[in-house]
Structure 1
Amino acid sequence: MSENKVIFKNQNIIIEDRNKMTVTGVEQVESFNDNTIILSTIKGGMTIKGEGLNISRLNLEDGSVKIDGAINGVSYTGKEATSKNFIGKIFK
């Protein structure tokens, strides 16, 4: 039986008033807590830093995530980064 996997081509990031964020093109949530959310997206890794962060909606079928909380910064890593590289960065 073949697996039906949705392939995403675009990624959009919408930040509203620095306290609501919507990201499309999300493949996986690598880790999250109140201060950091690490996502694997079609364009590479994404790290969201802030305070009181909460994933209010996650739908991996359509590749979207909604985040609430005080968003202080977003950083990106290249597509070649994998989850083991993220773990290596966490334990530096």
Structure 2
Amino acid sequence: MEERQLVKPQNHRLVINNRKTGTVTGVLDVLSFDLNEILLETEQGMLMVKGTDMHVNRLNLEKGEVDLAGNIDNISYSDIHSGAKAGENLLSKLFR
């Protein structure tokens, strides 16, 4: 008989400390990051963190955790739509 493991969705949490550091849980993937922007795919949708001197200090995708540092200016979410085509449209909109 085939054994199946059910993947339980993780809780998503975003904690920002003094606009300088942050911890994000429920992270599925890190799509991109540079000194001005970090784009994460989370359980609750796409999360974009903008600022200056941004860094990913710790990344653990097995646990779905990311630690961020920098001067955080903006945090925004976008919903994830099912299907690859919808995902492509969302990413193209984000990078316009």
RMSD of aligned Cα (Å): 2.1
- Change in CA separation of 1:88 and 1:15 when aligned onto 2, cut-off 3 Å: same
- Tell me whether 73-82 or 26-35 shows the greater mean CA deviation: 73-82
Structure 1: runs of 5 or more not aligned: none
**1:55-79 deviation digits (Å, cap 9, x = unpaired):** 0000000000000100111000012
Measured in 2, the distance between the counterparts of 1:89 and 1:79 equals: 12
The one-letter code of the counterpart of 1:54 is H
The one-letter code of the counterpart of 1:22 is T
**1:8-45 deviation digits (Å, cap 9, x = unpaired):** 33111100010001000000001110000000001110
* Corresponding residue for residue 86 of structure 1: 91
Structure 2: runs of 5 or more not aligned: none
Instruction: Classify the secondary structure of the residue corresponding to 2:11.
Output: coil
The answer to whether structure 1 residue 66 and structure 2 residue 67 are counterparts is yes
Measured in 2, the distance between the counterparts of 1:41 and 1:21 equals: 15
Percentage of identical aligned residues: 34
User: When the two structures are superposed, what TM-score results if normalisation uses the length of structure 1?
Assistant: 0.86
Measured in 2, the distance between the counterparts of 1:10 and 1:86 equals: 24
* Corresponding residue for residue 29 of structure 2: 28
> Which structure: larger Rg?
2
Q: Contact 1:8/1:63 (CA < 8 Å) preserved in 2? A: no
Q: 1:2: how far off?
A: 7.3
User: When the two structures are superposed, what TM-score results if normalisation uses the length of structure 2?
Assistant: 0.82
Instruction: Classify the secondary structure of the residue corresponding to 1:34.
Output: coil
